Amino acid sequence: MTDILREVGMIARALDSISNIEFKELDLTKGQYLYLVRICENPGIIQEKLAEMIKVDRTTAARAIQKLEISGFVEKKDDEKNKKIKRLFSTEKGKQAYPFLKREGDYSNSVALAGLSEEESETLFHLLHRVRKNIEIEWEFVKKGNKRDY
């Protein structure tokens, strides 16, 4: 049953590749769409949480967001109470890009689920959700430098 993880990997890489190709049209470089959609949907989120949400290294997120700021899709705002954090918001340009990102995602989704019934899609979602919950604990464990035994 190790093949479950391989299927997940194949699907994820293929989808990511498709998105990266398609979003060049918006002048988004590799991976940037991941951050932009989530900032649009979670205004005020901080970079650290965004990295955790996406499951990507903190420093990778930091640089992707820097680029998005430079290219004007996103802006960072200082928090009033906490001098350390910077809250992220989509700019007008970012908001304009969002519908396209959403539409592409919805389309890929419909293609991915073609031939599955409504109920099967539901089942898949719930099972994946549980798997994700399991794996994110593991990810945080290993990311923090802990060693797994097997």
Partner DNA sequence: ATTTTTTTGTTGCATTTACAACAATATTAT
Partner DNA sequence: ATAATATTGTTGTAAATGCAACAAAAAAAT
Q: Which of 16, 48, 69, 75 binds its own copies (CB under 8 A)?
A: 16
For residues 68 and 119, what is the distance between their CA atoms, to the nearest angstrom? 38
For residues 115 and 112, what is the distance between their CA atoms, to the nearest angstrom? 9
For residues 95 and 146, what is the distance between their CA atoms, to the nearest angstrom? 39
Stretch that binds its own copies, among 62-70, 78-86, 90-98, 109-117 (CB under 8 A): 109-117
Binding site for DNA (CB under 7 A): 13, 16-17, 20-21, 29-32, 46-49, 56-60, 62-67, 76, 81-86, 143
Q: Binding partner of residue 142 among its own copies, DNA, none, CB under 5 to 8 Å per kind? A: its own copies
Stretch that binds its own copies, among 8-16, 63-71, 73-81, 90-98 (CB under 8 A): 8-16
Nearer to its own copies, 44 or 107 (CB): 107
- Asked if 62 touches its own copies (CB under 8 A), the answer is no
For residues 142 and 23, what is the distance between their CA atoms, to the nearest angstrom? 32
For residues 143 and 137, what is the distance between their CA atoms, to the nearest angstrom? 10
Name the site residues for its own copies (rule: CB under 8 A).
1-5, 7-18, 21-22, 34, 53-57, 102-109, 111-116, 120-121, 123-125, 127-132, 134-136, 138-139, 142-143, 148, 150
